[in-house]
Amino acid sequence: MNKYIELLTVTGVISVLMVLSNMLNMNSNIITDFIVWIIPQYFIIVYPQYAYLILGISCFLILLFFKRNKTEVVDVKRNLGDIMRSSMIMMVIISIFACDFKMFPKRFYKTKEYGVSLMDVGIGSFLINAGFFNVKRSDKKILKSSLFLAMLGFIRLGVVTYFDYTVDVTEYGKHLNFYFILAILDILYILIRPLNYFAVGVIVLFTHEYIILGKDGVIPFIFSDIRHTFLCANKEGIASILPSLSIVFFSSALGEIVLLKNISDRKKFKYLLLTTIFFICGLVYTLRYSEISRRLGNAAYVFWMLSLHFTHAVIGCIIFKFFNLRTLNTQLLINKNMMLTFLVSNLIILIFNLMFDSMKTSELYANIINIGYLFITIVIIKLKTILFG
């Protein structure tokens, strides 16, 4: 249970940081946002043993400034979606570079077979974000997105092959990658796009859990080192398609209610709360007979991803009820350039790892390098916006 609470704390720190940044009533720009929002998030991820201390100090400051400045927080943009999306991508770009250094907690590395970790959360965050907002996008826009993602997938495959760059084949396999999976999911989403997203999410998950994983030999095959054919070489990526699709459809069910239905905020929150309870109950039930496995994409993993993110959404809604939060300018910047932010961060990481051995870097320099990398990434995105819009 402690590992679940730790991950809930680490991934949910943004809620407290957002309240603190609003209570301090600072002007939102790259520098202040970086100090108040990004740096604390970085240190909580890299040094989770101090998470409760950092959160405690933040809560104390919130109470202190809330009493003094209760009426001073004005002109607030209430947009929980912006905050959650930008926080998700920031958590991902922090983790994908920090994990190359010795000080990164080993328990946060991607799991090989069973278990939960921080780096298993990233892909789930992208899937939930995609599903939630896909309900507003036309098939034409989703198709264009799929073609763009496929192009990025081939570029990444070419770069990895050319530089003989080491990749973990237990993530998506030898040839498939994150971009290919998202592209495939977009195509399937267009082809299946149902009248009832929730029901189709259940059917897809049931099919994967009981019909595919339920067959004798499938689980040992996925965990094996057999890679002599294309199917075998990419079995992890192929196995992830149906569970990922179920996450997308479950998220679309919520997106349809929140973004498209003309009902009161109270009813929307009630639906969110009931859906979250359903996912938590699903998680508790599946944990009775199976451990969570990102590599298998089993029901326990799907329910864990949905429970974690939807719980944060519930907490966020409650916080927004009591605190009139504004979205930081840097969060808006990241939201408008999500894929570009991810691409720039990956490019910086690739260049660094081709030139240096991160594991030989001292802890002090590792932290300086990581913080510098985060700042450079944000500055590049800001410059792109200034120069090209």
313 shares a domain with 181: yes
Measuring CA to CA, which residue among 70, 131, 92, 95 is closest to residue 259? Answer: 131
State the pLDDT confidence band at 77, using cuts at 50, 70 and 90.
very low
336 shares a domain with 301: no
- Give whole-number Cα distances, 349 to 167, 205, 273, in Å: 13, 34, 39
33 shares a domain with 146: no
161 shares a domain with 89: no
For 358, the domain range is: 1-109+327-389
The answer for residues whose C-beta is within 8 angstroms of residue 198's C-beta and 6 or more apart is: 249, 250, 253
State the Cα–Cα distance between residues 389 and 369, nearest whole angstrom.
Answer: 29
Torsional sign, CA 323, 13, 37, 316: negative
317 shares a domain with 355: no
Last residue of a domain, one of 294, 324, 354: 324
| Average pLDDT for the chain | 87
pTM over the 0.85 mark:
yes
Residue 326 reports pLDDT greater than 80? no
Q: Are 59 and 19 in contact (CB under 8 A)?
A: no
Percent above pLDDT 70 for the chain: 93
Last residue of a domain, one of 303, 324, 345: 324
b/e code 156-177 from CB counts within 10 Å (16+ = b):
bbeebeeeeeeeebbbbbbebb
Q: Are 312 and 15 in contact (CB under 8 A)?
A: yes
234 shares a domain with 185: yes
Eight-state DSSP code of residue 234 = T
94 shares a domain with 2: yes
Q: Which residue has the tokens 């991607």?
A: 110
Last residue of a domain, one of 275, 298, 324: 324
338 shares a domain with 287: no
State the Cα–Cα distance between residues 389 and 384, nearest whole angstrom.
Answer: 7
User: How much of the chain is in helix, strand and coil states, percent to nearest 5?
Assistant: 75, 0, 25
User: Which helix or strand (DSSP H or E) is residue 165 part of?
Assistant: none
Q: How many domains does the chain have?
A: 2
120 shares a domain with 35: no
286 shares a domain with 389: no
Q: What is the pLDDT of residues 254-308, one digit of tens each?
A: 999 888 778 888 888 899 999 999 999 999 999 999 999 999 999 999 999 999 9
298 shares a domain with 182: yes
**Best-predicted range by mean pLDDT among 63-67, 250-254, 328-332?**
250-254
345 shares a domain with 236: no
Q: What is the pLDDT of residues 11-42, one digit of tens each?
A: 877 777 777 776 666 677 889 889 888 998 89
Percent above pLDDT 90 for the chain: 50
